[in-house]
Structure 1
Amino acid sequence: MYYENKVVWITGASSGIGEALAYALNEKGARLILSARRTDELERVKSNCKGDPDNIAVLPLDLTDTDLLAGNAKQAESLFGSVDILFNNGGISQRALALEAELDSVRRLMEINFFGTIALTKAIVPGMIERGHGHVVVTSSVMGKFGTKYRSAYAASKHALHGWFDCLRQEVIDQGVDVTLVCPGYVKTDITKNAITADGSKFDKMGSAHKEAMTPEQFADKLLPKVSAGKEEIYIAGREIWAVYLKRVFPSLLNKILRRIKVT
């Protein structure tokens, strides 16, 4: 019942986890605002949803255009009168050695994963505070808790999200706004194929670990009950979840393990 008739805005809704969330939330009776860059893909997702199409709106946006996101937020609020839940799900990954990654590619990744996410949140949370309720959900990663080779900027962006949203939670919890950070492990999406390399070009390969990972639909089914339960931080992963706990208790051991394993 948590999602029924709630207005839920999903970024990164054109594929992967965002698309799966759209279908799952649609079945739970939520009114949806679907956002990503590709309008045609958003329309495809909308057409695959069941029920009344008037309860699903398409709102294209680009998280790198941070100056436009406040206007996008006003558009979103005007579609159904408010936004009750914001799923900050848009983002990209990286496959590049730290010393080889060009600063322009690092800035682009940070612009999408961090600055775009916080700009959209800053634009939408005041309305939640005014109404006395709201929920911000952020797709981070287990990489927000530790780092491996080839993902320096990606891990940095996810660590930054945890710092910023942990602070935001303390500032808005007494005003009725919940903040949930979600840490997926490997999910079978195109995130590796779409990852950027050292010069900013597309990696265009599927990571070996992602081939055998859980599907986005399985991930969404596990995630939504935890979000509705008000969890502040959620981990959904396979064996890679143990790295999160090793980092807390035996960080030196984790570093030794990560140095030896194959990372793709």
Structure 2
Amino acid sequence: MTQLAGKVVWITGASSGIGEALALLASKRGARLVLTARRLPELERVRALCADAQNVALLPADLAAFDAGELTRQAETCFGRIDVLVNNAGISQRSLLKDTEMSVYRRIMELDFFAPVALTRAVLPNMRARGAGHIVMIGSVVSKIGVPLRTGYSAAKHAIAGFTEAAAAELWRDGVRFTLACPGFVRTQVSVNALGASGEKHGVVDEDILKGLSPEQCAEGIWRAVAKDREDVLIAGREHLYVLIKRFAPALFAHVLKRAKATS
């Protein structure tokens, strides 16, 4: 059981959305926090909202281009260790394959896959030495199903799912636990910030996102799964149905998906 009270929790992408909600709830439950994102003013805003701002350290960084070893050393210096790493930073996509530049695919993979892998590798030595640690990967419903307009995002989140499953199988004897948390539609700026075909911001809030869970509901589901040491959790509304249909009626799922609206 991974309880938050007294734990040192490092959250990336902590300046808004799910990352911010995770931070506020963890602080309320007695965790000490290290918060990372690109925008220091937004991190300062989140720290001011935390239940115990004195136990919140800020570590701004751009995870699209960084030294994972050095950043991890800085994070561990804040409170002496990292008990829980939450790899939440990421970026989505809204563009068709035929239109999307390779630079966009590389940018998505760099932030959504390579950055969390690099940070995971960097925190492992001290977690293994202590015989304890928990790494939370924030995936997506597209970790389980591919979706039009998100070829790169689906690929990165599928990759995270495979990485997490394999890593959990390798490291459980060392006391390091993994949780893959897969949110569905959550009311954040994810679609606004999503990359278009040439790397521009999508700039639009998707209708499905407006109808989604609140970040607070999502954060509650993630921390509940971590407390129970669950290795895989889907936190979603009706999106559960898509995953079930793919599992039990894959031909039907493929038929429906091919006829889904695919315009940006």
Q: TM-score range by the shorter chain?
A: over 0.9
2:175 is aligned with 1:172: no
CA distance in 1 between counterparts of 2:15 and 2:36 reads: 7
CA distance in 2 between counterparts of 1:223 and 1:124 reads: 20
Question: Alignment partner of 2:6: what SS?
Answer: coil
2:199 is aligned with 1:200: yes
Matches within 5 A, 1:43-54: 43-51=44-52, 53-54=53-54
Contact 2:179–2:225, Cα closer than 8 Å, also in 1: no
CA distance in 2 between counterparts of 1:243 and 1:65 reads: 35
Q: Residue type matched to 2:42 in 1?
A: E
Q: Deviations over 1:117-176 (max 9, x none)?
A: 101111011110011000000000010111111000000000011111111111111000
2:152 is aligned with 1:153: yes
Q: Residue type matched to 1:60 in 2?
A: P
Which runs of 5 or more residues in structure 1 are unaligned? none
CA distance in 2 between counterparts of 1:251 and 1:11 reads: 35
User: Normalized against structure 2, the TM-score is what?
Assistant: 0.97
1:21 corresponding residue in structure 2: 22
Matches within 5 A, 1:1-264: 2-51=3-52, 53-66=53-66, 68-262=67-261
Q: Residue type matched to 1:126 in 2?
A: P
CA distance in 2 between counterparts of 1:16 and 1:125 reads: 27
CA RMSD of aligned residues (A): 1.1
Deviation for aligned residue 1:88: 0.5
Mean Cα deviation higher: 236-245 or 153-162: 236-245
Which runs of 5 or more residues in structure 2 are unaligned? none
CA distance in 1 between counterparts of 2:178 and 2:244 reads: 22
Aligned length: 262
Q: Residue type matched to 2:191 in 1?
A: T
Q: Residue type matched to 2:19 in 1?
A: G
Q: Residue type matched to 1:3 in 2?
A: L
Q: Deviations over 1:167-188 (max 9, x none)?
A: 1111111000001101110000
Mean Cα deviation higher: 183-192 or 164-173: 164-173
Mean Cα deviation higher: 150-159 or 164-173: 164-173
Q: Residue type matched to 2:11 in 1?
A: I
Q: Residue type matched to 1:65 in 2?
A: A
CA distance in 1 between counterparts of 2:69 and 2:152 reads: 25
Deviation for aligned residue 1:54: 2.5
Deviation for aligned residue 1:259: 2.2
CA distance in 2 between counterparts of 1:83 and 1:111 reads: 23
Q: Deviations over 1:194-228 (max 9, x none)?
A: 00001011000000100111110111122211211
